[in-house]
Amino acid sequence: MKIGLRGGHSPNCKGAIGYLDEQAEVRKIYYELAPMLQAQGHTVINCNSDEYNQNADLNKGTNTANANGCDIFISIHMNASGGAGNGTECWLYDASNGTMNTIADRICQNFAAKGFKNRGRKYNTGFHDLNATRMPAMIVETLFCDNSHDAGLYNTLGAKGIAELIAAAIVGQTVSGGAVTPVQPSAPVALGSGGGPTINFKYRVRTKEDGWLPEVVNLADYAGIPGHAITDIAIGVDRGSLWYQVHVKGGGWLPAVTGYNINDYNNGYAGNGQVVDAVRVYYNTPADYAAQYGYQKAQYRVAPLGGNYYPWQYDNETGGGQDGYAGVIGQAMDRFQLF
Ligand SMILES: [Zn+2]
């Protein structure tokens, strides 16, 4: 077969960002998968793009496949849902092509054999890759890049291991061997990895025992001292703006503040000297930055006194298992991280 193959998105027009950078990783999968298919006797047409906007990027892929008269088109992606969703799904235009149905099912089965959830074969006539191609086409959503389990499995398998699962499915094989052990990611991909300049969040916390602790920038450290309950938080950012607020243990949410100045108790930090149990941060992406690199979010987490970190919170989101804030009401916290 002549296979139009594409690692989704462009280095200049990124896809989803989570524990993994979708675009960077699916491009690695492409470069592993292409030679595997060639070794099976297939011709591979490179349908990748380095375009700067989404329409041009999508058109580049499907135009290349059409111009080369490919027999099938396969576009490799990673999903995202705010952290809760996981697993593998394959999208087709409709159910009319038996070969594509079979490949889609085998891909999902092969991923499931390694520990991914099988979300199955799905249809959508609205996706560009599926409706702008003149040949049977498939979008492979390999995994959820913002889900720690899926990212962990990816860390173990690598781009090569993932490519092997897809290659086997295309040549009509199912894989053997059981599920692999995920290597859990420690932190999401940093802001600014969408290709834009790094956004530096600086922050510090106060405890009753220590007063104000030193400033931390992004994930260089955490703010706090294990065992010492945080009472106040101050946050600044070197690009764009933010607002943040804390919830007092046994009390309520204090008013949101926007400044970063421990000597300004009105707007320079969040807190009133009492132990806090939750914090909420929202990042406003500058319009020019958002237009070029996409909207960015405050990504932050806290740890309860002497315990392990709770999951990462993005802005004030409530989807995908998030509460809209970091922390557990009623539980004092002793460490805070933000980037
Ligand atoms: Zn994608």
Angle at the Cα of 193 (from 335 to 83), degrees rounded to 5?
60
What distance in angstroms lies between residue 318's CA and the mean position of ligand 1's atoms? Answer: 22
* Rg value, the chain, Cα: 23
Q: Is 44 helix (H, G, I), strand (E, B) or coil?
A: strand
How far is the centre of ligand 1, averaged over its atoms, from the C-alpha of 68 (Å)? Answer: 23
What is the band of 194 on the pLDDT scale with cuts at 50, 70, 90? low
Name the β-bridge partners of 336. Answer: 223, 302
Of the chain, the percentage scoring pLDDT greater than 90 comes to: 74
- Per-residue pLDDT tens for 197-212? 888 999 999 999 999 9
Which pLDDT belongs to residue 132?
Answer: 97
Q: How far is the CA of 113 from the centre of ligand 1 (A)?
A: 23
Q: What is the 100 CA–ligand 1 centroid distance (Å)?
A: 20
Q: Is the pLDDT of residue 192 over 70?
A: no
At residue 182 the predicted structure's pLDDT band, cuts being 50, 70 and 90, is: confident
Q: Which DSSP helix (H) or strand (E) runs through 155?
A: helix 148-170
Structure confidence by residue, pLDDT tens digits, 57-99: 999 999 999 999 999 999 999 998 877 789 999 999 999 999 9
Q: Looking at residue 5, what is its pLDDT?
A: 98
- Residue-range domain boundaries for the chain: 2-170, 201-338
How much is the pLDDT for 190? 58
Task: Measure 85 CA to ligand 1 centroid, in angstroms.
Answer: 15
Distance 266 CA to ligand 1 centre (A): 43
Q: From the CA of 12, how far away is ligand 1's center (Å)?
A: 14
Interval between CA 16 and ligand 1 midpoint (Å)? 6
23 Cα–ligand 1 center, Å: 7
- Say if residue 195's pLDDT is above 70: no
Q: How many CB atoms lie within 10 A of CB 190?
A: 15
| Cα 133 to averaged position of ligand 1 atoms, centre (Å) | 17
The pLDDT, as a whole number, for residue 32 is 97
173, 108 contact by CB (below 8 A): no
Q: What is the pLDDT of residue 9?
A: 92
The per-residue pLDDT for range 255-301, each reduced to its tens digit, is 999 999 999 999 999 999 999 999 999 999 888 887 777 778 899 99
Q: How far is the CA of 279 from the centre of ligand 1 (A)?
A: 31
CA 325 to ligand 1 centroid distance, Å: 27
Average pLDDT over residues 24-53: 95
Pull the structure tokens for residue 95.
Answer: 């159910």
Q: What are the backbone angles phi and psi of residue 276, rounded to the nearest 5°?
A: -105, 155
Q: How many Å lie between the centroid of ligand 1 and the Cα of residue 300?
A: 24
User: For 150-164, what is each residue's pLDDT tens digit?
Assistant: 999 999 999 999 999
Compute the average pLDDT of residues 304-318. Answer: 89
Distance, in Å, from the CA atom of 157 to the CA atom of 135, rounded to the nearest integer, reads 31
Q: How far does CA 35 lie from the centroid of its chain?
A: 27
| 191 has pLDDT over 80 | no
- The length of the chain in residues reads 339
Task: Check whether 119 has a pLDDT greater than 90.
Answer: yes
Tokens of 92: 């087709």
Closest CA to 19 of 148, 180, 160: 148
Taking the centre of ligand 1 as the mean of its atom positions, its distance from the CA of residue 15, in whole angstroms, is 5
Ligand 1 centroid distance, CA of 128 (Å): 12
Q: In the prediction, which pLDDT does 55 show?
A: 87
**Spacing, Cα 8 to ligand 1 middle (Å):** 5
Q: Is the pLDDT of residue 30 over 70?
A: yes
Looking at domain 2-170, its CATH class is: alpha beta
Give the model's pLDDT for residue 322.
76
Specify the higher pLDDT residue, 320 or 149. 149
pLDDT in tens, 125-141: 999 999 999 999 999 99
Q: Closest Cα to residue 81, out of 141, 166, 171?
A: 141
pLDDT at 161 (0 to 100): 97
Q: Which helix (H) or strand (E) holds 109?
A: helix 98-113
Q: Which long-range contacts (CB under 8 A, 24 or more apart) does 191-198 make?
A: 191/296, 191/297, 191/299, 191/339, 192/293, 192/296, 193/14, 193/17, 193/21, 194/14, 194/17, 194/293, 194/294, 194/296, 195/11, 195/12, 195/14, 195/292, 195/293, 196/289, 196/292, 196/293, 196/296, 197/239
Task: Give distance in angstroms: CA of 199 to centre of ligand 1.
Answer: 23
Q: Which of 273, 338, 323, 279 is nearest to 304 (CA)?
A: 279
* Span from the CA of 36 to the centroid of ligand 1 (angstroms): 22
pLDDT band at 180 (very low <50, low <70, confident <90, very high): confident
pTM above 0.75, yes or no: no
Q: What is the 220 CA–ligand 1 centroid distance (Å)?
A: 30
What pLDDT was estimated at residue 323?
87
DSSP 205-250: EEETTTEEPPPEEGGGS-BS-TTS-EEEEEEEESSSEEEEEEEETT
